[in-house]
Homo-oligomer: A and B are copies of this chain.
């Protein structure tokens, strides 16, 4: 592959004709492929089909609890005990709630706005201004929550080791209106970055001007490995306690990408005071979560190791799709000078950075060629990627047979958009 930025104008024009032809040929194939959202594939969902007949005939008792009736605000103890080790907390400090962690995150923000945290002097909605640190690239649904509640988003770069902590420390020390920070610490959405232990300890101990600062620790991919290595990260909650900030972390996670997406169980975890605060809030909105579904998951997982074993099977399905995309990128984009990408060891996404100023065009061209991508910019607060460069690739949903084709479409769109951009600059 030629290194496009080094080509002379003549060669660039020649290359443009070729890549245009390849693009047109691709369009003619009339494919309809989708790499937008991090949805599990049908094959992955099949792994949990036992849930469709669980908990089973006459099975509704968990300990002494009738799972069919009201009660148990914090969720079934049996399930909390299975999930707690994954969150690095004791079972009394985890709440099994609804079917998603997104709702627990939304509610934690909404409750803080309406009531304040357990360390707040007043509801955040009564503050002159509320701001969150948003590592970018990041997860669009985190940003939507901020937008919904008028929370200012302050982007900081997400490095391979996690957020740029020099920048974060400076910001939170200076500004008491910075009340929160979004983090996807392991196999981050969308870069796949894994926060280093040093980063996590710095998050735990940094000085914040806001006494009621909260880290929204969305550990969505805690057990979602793509390699043989089950990467473990430092325990933020323990480190916060160690450094005298025991209530700093709100921990979130779910089984959405473990069992059924949308029919799993979401969790909130944290310090004793945070859990008490959370329970006091949700007590106003629910008598308890769906304990039959919680019991269903208890019977299906059996124990914490049951989760890990299940995730191994997910990996067997997912890893080859990631390999296909990465191989295609390497073969066709390697050394072209117009693209870089991450090689995640877990999670659901690859971040593709294309030539500056072409991400929107790549997404548009891919779409016109039948390959749907997440909108360019969605990895940044307000949908605004100032360099128009970052694209989130989600290879999980299409069948393996289609992933290669979809990746090829992305590659061609990337090369065509880059060539046209370079030609414009050459004029």
Asked if A260 and B40 make an inter-chain contact with CB atoms under 8 angstroms apart, the answer reads no
A45 at the interface (CB under 8 A from B): yes
CB neighbours of A71 from chain B (8 A): 262
Which of A157-165, A168-176, A229-237, A287-295 forms part of the interface with chain B? A287-295
Interface residues on A, range: 35 or more
CB neighbours of A281 from chain B (8 A): 148
Asked if B290 and A70 make an inter-chain contact with CB atoms under 8 angstroms apart, the answer reads no
Which residue of B has the minimal Cβ distance to A50?
B57
Asked if A99 and B289 make an inter-chain contact with CB atoms under 8 angstroms apart, the answer reads yes
CB neighbours of A52 from chain B (8 A): 55-60, 292
A113 CB to closest chain B CB (Å) equals: 6
Which of A18-26, A102-110, A401-409, A412-420 forms part of the interface with chain B? A102-110
Among residues 113 to 162 in chain A, which have CB atoms less than 8 Å away from a CB atom of chain B?
113-115, 123, 125, 141, 144-145, 148-149
A28 CB to closest chain B CB (Å) equals: 28
A228 at the interface (CB under 8 A from B): no
CB neighbours of A58 from chain B (8 A): 49, 52
Query: What does the 1/0 interface line of A288-304 toward B look like (CB < 8 Å)?
Result: 11111100000000000
Asked if A110 and B114 make an inter-chain contact with CB atoms under 8 angstroms apart, the answer reads yes
Give A285 to B104 CA distance when docked, in angstroms. 8
Asked if B285 and A69 make an inter-chain contact with CB atoms under 8 angstroms apart, the answer reads no
5 CB contacts below 8 A, A to B, read A52-B59, A70-B256, A102-B286, A262-B291, A263-B290
Identify the 3 closest CB pairs spanning chains A and B, nearest first.
A106-B285, A263-B292, A68-B260
Residues of A within 8 A of B (CB): 37, 39-40, 42, 45, 48-49, 51-60, 66-71, 98-100, 102-103, 106-107, 110, 113-115, 123, 125, 141, 144-145, 148-149, 256, 260-263, 281, 283-293
